[in-house]
Structure 1
Amino acid sequence: MTLPMVVPAPDLPARVRIHEVGARDGLQNEKSTVPTEVKAEFVRRLADAGLTTIEATSFVHPKWVPQLADAEQLFPMVRDLAADLPVLVPNQRGLDRALALGARRVAVFASATESFAKANLNRTVDESLAVFDPVVRHARDEGAHVRGYVSMCFGDPWEGAVPVPQVVRVCRALMDMGCQELSLGDTIGVATPGHVGALLAALNAEGVPTDVIGVHFHDTYGQALANTLAALRHGVSTVDASAGGLGGCPYAKSATGNLATEDLVWMLRGLGIDTGVDLGRLVATSAWMAEHLGRPSPSRTVRALSHKDTGAPEEQ
């Protein structure tokens, strides 16, 4: 298989942990129902490819995300894998359902903007934070690891550019209630590298250390890898990505797919950054899922490596 030439760059992390979201964020928008057995096999194949953090599902009410209505059936099918399997929990009921099945890593999802909080959570930003506070504290009391997602960190389809201090306030609130990790979401894909650096610097200035921050970029304007590199240069070493580039956001129609895990691995491999991921197995997994979904993978790397080699040199 063709692989990139490795040319390490200075001042970048030696290893990046990929937070794989394809089985949750990637599949939640599918119009046709993906069978539970196929989802479970997808998670198993992702783990076999070397991914160590795989977001398995979401314990939201089935009315809101019908594609993930099988969370109770799916999670027991994969929970014994040798990988961390975070799940989303929207409220106390969702947390209770997840903990009852043995989930040890959970995530809550907040918004940096009022418009998206209303569209996604039907609450104001402060009302949603008030709901999450007891959920996070209960999860921590039960020994679970808690991640806090923050959507619309860079732009909002209704409000436009989002002021950095507004994002920092929500992030700080999530940390104060007990979240151990943050994921900064570029939900509609409008971030640029300078904006990424400015937000990370502002978070550091407010006492949020880089080592608890992950980044979650969408590729609407083709900036996801550039923004990821900017975050890496700041010291971020956790990057969200979706196998095959699956996913978007059901409440933000301008959001296109997530950063493809394969495209990310290709870049990181070329930079000499370790991920532990077998790119060949990952590409085969995304090609397999694309067949089940009945359309080609959006990932450029999957498309390139799924065709016969064109004669480009192999990595030595």
Structure 2
Amino acid sequence: MNLNRGVFTVSLDFELYWGMRDIVSIEQYKDNLQGVRKAIPEMLQVFSQNDVHVTWAAVGLLFCNDTHDLKQNQPDLLPTYTKAVLSPYKYAEQAGELDSLYHFAPELIDLILQHDGQEVGTHTFSHYYCLEDGQTQAQFEQDIAAAIAIAKRKGITIKSIVFPRNQWNADYFSTLTQLGVQCFRGKESSWMYKAASVDVSQNQFRRAFRLMDAYINLSGQNTYDLNTCVQNAPFNFPSSRYLRPYSAKLAGLEKLRLRRIKKAMDDAAINKRLFHLWWHPHDFGINISKNIDFLSEIITHYQLLTKNYDMVSLNMSELCQMQDA
């Protein structure tokens, strides 16, 4: 890859309640889920005003109009997780008619597509967990095929994937290549970020270290040589930093959180490497103005790095295209 510039990449795990339903109830999380419909237009405005290109990795179920549409588009082969609670299909069957506010968002996908530089990728069809016991590669293949098919209804060709809970499974890469998915978002190299099942990744010890790493440098800058990223298919554009949402309890540490991100961006810009920031749109569903203001500070710093070091913003699909250039 002959880009010879630092790259600022953003990817968003767009999932609504499908990404939270095995963790919290709708009642517990409804403020975030309701607020995301205000937060997304504000995010898009910030991106558009600053020419920031973003990959929106959307759960395929969000493309559905309602519960009937979901059932019409789900794959024949469903995941057989050992832990039944992980299956969204069992949840949907028990719930009956699902509330569109929390489960479906075709109009938001349309809004995203109206903005230049915004790519819609996939977060799998069903928020599929690739490292959980009981599921199989054949089930994963049907899930991704369903995600690709429902995206085509809106004229979208899926090129990028973000694995739910960052459970990427190298054994499944051949399936992605076969179906035309060119790249994925991997994880930071530190032990605290290693891809693992839900039980392992949510271990309190690991979570505590990831929280501290958001404010002080425990795992390094996590920027990447782009030539290394594209050595094997599908290409791996790893995460550099999860943009944690504003927390009133930790408000006194906001300057540290911002400095941690800026330092890594500096490293990428100066050394012509990749910096990859990610979060969930529902993270911004509460404290919207605080989160948008913080994002705006990051984007302002990106603009400074563009001016001083010629840094460029590319979404994941555009990064793949640079390999072909």
Q: What TM-score do the two structures reach when normalised by structure 2? A: 0.45
Structure showing greater relative contact order (alpha-carbon pairs closer than 8 Å, 6 or more residues apart)? 2
Structure number with the higher helix fraction is: 2
Q: What TM-score do the two structures reach when normalised by structure 1? A: 0.46
